[in-house]
């Protein structure tokens, strides 16, 4: 049974790192300016090694003991995140959440919809009809 567990862990590690390497490839090819990779904390050291080896700016938040959010990419984007300074993404204001989504390359119109929905939910904006 132990060998099966080790094999499953290896497959999980390999799959997770494959996605991370693909994110790194997209950044290096200029497809993205900022990447967010959320994973279990056990991958943290390997990811730090990779971004440092590639001389890429990064920021790591640990919203839970078992999970890390690894941001990496253009230093200006990382500095914006440092300026926001929130460790937990759920604590971002609506405006910060909107900016983050745009910086990550999410669909602009969907980010606008998300922003308006969050503001309506929080009572900040009235829904305009027509």
Question: Which tens digits make up the pLDDT trace of 79-111?
Answer: 999 999 888 898 999 999 999 999 999 999 999
pLDDT of residue 122: 72
pTM of the shown model? 0.81
Phi, psi of 70 (to 5 degrees): -105, 110
Using alpha carbons, select from 105, 20, 106, 37 the residue that is nearest to residue 71: 37
Order of strands, sheet of 34-40, starting from the edge strand that comes earlier in the sequence: 34-40, 67-73, 57-64
Q: What domains can you pick out in the chain, each with its CATH number?
A: 2-87 (3.30.2190.10), 92-122 (no CATH)
Average pLDDT per 10 consecutive residues for the chain, totaling 130 residues: 56 76 94 94 91 96 88 97 90 94 96 92 62
For the chain, the first-to-last Cα distance in angstroms comes to 63
Q: How far is CA 126 from CA 31, 95, 96, 117, in A?
A: 36, 17, 20, 10
| Cβ atoms 59, 71 nearer than 8 A | yes
The per-residue pLDDT for 64 is: 79
């Amino acid at each position: 049974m132990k060998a099966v567990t080790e094999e499953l862990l290896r497959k999980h590690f390999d799959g997770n790192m494959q996605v991370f390497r693909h994110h790194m490839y997209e950044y290096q090819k200029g497809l993205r300016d900022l990447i967010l990779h959320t994973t279990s904390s056990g991958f943290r050291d390997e990811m730090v090694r990779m971004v440092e080896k590639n001389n890429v700016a990064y920021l790591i938040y640990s919203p839970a003991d078992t999970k890390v959010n690894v941001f990496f990419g253009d230093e200006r984007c990382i500095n914006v995140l440092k300026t926001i300074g929130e460790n937990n993404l759920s604590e971002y204001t609506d405006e910060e959440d909107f900016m983050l989504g745009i910086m990550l390359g999410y669909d602009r119109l969907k980010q606008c919809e998300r922003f308006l929905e969050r503001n309506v939910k929080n009572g900040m904006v009235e829904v305009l009809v027509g």
